[in-house]
Amino acid sequence: MFIEPNISGERRGWIEVICGSMFSGKTEELIRRLKRAKIANLKVEIFKPGIDVRYDETKVVSHDANAIQSTPVDNSQKILLLSQDVDVVGIDEAQFFDEEITHVCETLATKGVRVIVAGLDMDYLGKPFGQMPNLLAIADYITKLHAICVQCGNIANISYRKIEQEGQVLIGEKDIYEPRCRACYHK
């Protein structure tokens, strides 16, 4: 990723979005970027939706058990309140946040903060998920990751729900979801 040098001395912010299906490594990549920012002695704050308690109540945890301390919040406006005097803000599972998340990210970037957001771009039906389309539209940098289809081994871009249950949001793991390519999803 090329970052334009800032010769004026002012802090410039931007928005990075990491997206893809479940099991594609989104959270792993988010954690990697945030840990590198910490190594650079930047002040980092990390947030996740309060409803995501799959692995830990306060940590952002990848499927590979990599973890980083975070602050669970129940609405995106709290991110603004808790992000004073920071250089980098990380946000995991952005698809679960309310419609203000786009405004929050834009406000932070305008204030000179590097904002790194990870989330599912599509739900289990292959439809755009939550506010992710809006975040992708305003992002300065986008990384789309793919899992491996458990049916055929090709790249997977859809999180297939293995159980029948209504509703877009059903937090779960490999017991409920598996990554599938487009062809295997539609079989």
Number of domains observed in the structure of the chain: 1
Domain-embedded: residue 25 = yes
In a domain, 175, yes or no: no
Q: What's the one-letter identity of residue 170? A: L
For residue 167 the two structure tokens come to: 């509703």
User: What CA dihedral angle connects 60, 157, 116 and 45, to 10 degrees?
Assistant: -10
Residue 151 within any structural domain of the chain = no
Structure tokens at 75: 């609405």
Pair of tokens at residue 4: 């334009």
Closest CA to 92 of 115, 109, 114: 115
pLDDT digits (tens, 9 = 90+) for 97-143: 999 999 999 999 999 999 999 999 999 999 999 999 999 999 999 99
Listed in order, strand segments (DSSP E) in the chain are 14-20, 44-49, 59-61, 67-69, 71-73, 88-91, 114-120, 141-145, 147-148, 155-156, 158-161, 177-180
Q: Which amino acid is at 148?
A: I
Give domain status of residue 48, yes or no: yes
> What are the catalytic residues?
93
Q: Show the domain range for 105.
A: 14-145
Give the closest residue to 94 by CA, choosing from 124, 42, 129.
129
DSSP state of 124: T
pLDDT tens-digit series, residues 137-186: 999 999 999 999 999 999 999 999 887 877 666 655 667 889 999 999 99
Please indicate, yes or no, if residue 45 is contained in any of the structural domains. Answer: yes
Residue-wise pLDDT for 33-60, tens only, equals: 999 999 999 999 999 987 665 555 565 6
Tell me the one-letter amino acid at 153: G
Residue 32's domain is classified under what CATH number? 3.40.50.300
Say if 152 falls within a structural domain: no
In a domain, 65, yes or no: yes
- Asked if residue 183 belongs to a domain, the reply is no
Distance CA(96)–CA(132), nearest Å, equals 9
Asked if residue 81 has pLDDT above 70, the reply is: yes
**What pLDDT, on a 0 to 100 scale, did the predictor assign at position 56?**
55
Phi and psi, residue 108, nearest 5°? -60, -45
